[in-house]
Chains A and B, each alone.
Chain A
């Protein structure tokens, strides 16, 4: 019973603590109908390119763009990998071939927040300084962009488990603070007995400092 609670707390910590993005001056916000609190950069890109109209839970999502400005430029560069002109041409291609529509484009953070708050499934972005009442802030998970690991502690592998032939690989999702400490750990896969040992070790790991909290996935083989 104790372990599930730990995991639940860890998962909840990720959810509530991951309110910062890799780019500090930007927040990705969503209507409360969007159930997940974390979204991968890949899903975010697919949503804004209108290739994804729902998340894994099947709920509808729709992108909302901010017009021009540094927030818009940062979002395009960081998460879509496109210039403003490229994105405009992309939407025009969809429009003029009958394959999609132009997403809502709004002029200010306040307008984006207001629209996202009242529109089911809406996902948008605003500057880090914006007031974000009535919406939720999504944490962005970027697999493959892990921070450098400075201190690694190997997990304890009890002799009895070795003798019993209990082995395998444990997958963990970890929340790393800006200073580099591991704040929360979530078991994604593998033997739960080994997962407990791996979690204890990973909590002692130290990563390179960063501008913000980040999420990473690690695999540990026993």
Chain B
């Protein structure tokens, strides 16, 4: 927390209206240094949210990143970004290499990039940390759960990508196909959620592969697209047999039987107005404890958002985010984790109505104020913002939240 605030203060100091990217030369090549930092404050009226003591008001929402990049040749670019965050109990200021990429573009229609690469999934997966790009302090959590950032943010592997102009002015198609290894932080939402069952992960990750196709249509400002992600993950650690708690710690393992995401999206920009809509279905079928148990989570989310720039320095926006989950458990753990199939119950959904305002103090520094009005608190078997560990008194069905966030980028 203190480190985050210190970084914010330093960045604010550096980000005078005349500050821009810091360019310098290494071996006679121009190298660009860019960065961002943000600090949030969250207050909720009932349940604690996003692993913070938000009911008391919490400033535990800090993140920052810095990157270096250079063009080695006309077609080859290299760069890397360091990222760190603290979100309540998550992140805990353990820095990570966010991306580190060598990108070679043969032609407009074909390029390759390799290394640790940001994953193209829907409109905002790869830019979800870049708070300065949008009016909202938090993206719709039904599609972009900030507590599960690690799950989809990047892969260690490679992409092929390109852009093709369609004939007869039918617009442009952009594609990305990728494969690689996902490596989650043990300070992420899923390991934290399972800590309620005394499960401690030592590793979590696995294969990811998928594709994204987006069409910039002939209608000015309209983009539509679809993404698909397949995963084969494995988590290892230790746990406690909940049926024999005196038996000490035992090895824990879980692995994917089936794990896929389909996402469809559209974006429309006209003048100062921007409208987005996305739908995601995530099916996660996990074998637990060496296949003695199986848990199937079916997560469906969608949102519609609008943002309008009222003046040069002021924007406001609103969205409705709809999240629901069903969870079915088979085998030994079936008795401990009752099936949840009724999405009308607050335990199986989060419906979030949001209004937000953003003021740009200068080109580099913004302040956001956002109100969330949430119905439901989601499942206890899958991370969705509300965790039993920070709500030991149980959940209330509704939560209102105030988020105030400020950020600097250069």
Contacts and interface: CB of A to CB of B under 8 A. Distances in A.
Report if A and B associate in a common complex.
yes
Interface of A: 42, 46, 51-54, 58, 60, 62, 81, 83, 85-86, 88-89, 92-93, 95-102, 121, 143-144
Interface size, B (range): 35 or more
19 contacts: A42-B169, A51-B163, A54-B108, A58-B107, A62-B74, A95-B67, A96-B34, A96-B36, A96-B67, A96-B130, A97-B118, A97-B126, A98-B81, A98-B100, A98-B101, A98-B117, A99-B103, A99-B118, A101-B32
- Dominant secondary structure of chain B at its interface with chain A: strand
A86 B108 contact: no
Given A52-B108, A86-B269, A97 B99 contact: yes
Contacts of A81: 220-221
Contacts, number: 82
B191 to A, nearest CB: 25
A89 B133 contact: yes
Interface string B260-277: 000000000100100000
Contacts of B129: 96
B11 to A, nearest CB: 14
B169 A143 contact: yes
Contacts of A86: 269
A101 B77 contact: yes
B169 A98 contact: no
A46 B69 CA distance: 22
Interface of B: 21, 32, 34, 36, 65, 67, 69, 71, 74-75, 77, 79-81, 99-101, 103, 105, 107-108, 113, 117-118, 126-127, 129-130, 132-133, 163, 165, 169, 172, 174, 220-221, 269, 272, 309, 363, 409
A121 B130 contact: no
Contacts of B105: 53
Given A98-B117, A98-B118, A42 B165 contact: yes
Given A99-B103, A101-B77, A93 B269 contact: no
B69 A95 contact: yes
Nearest to A49: B163
B130 A98 contact: no
A46 B174 CA distance: 12
A95 B129 CA distance: 13
Contacts of B165: 42, 46
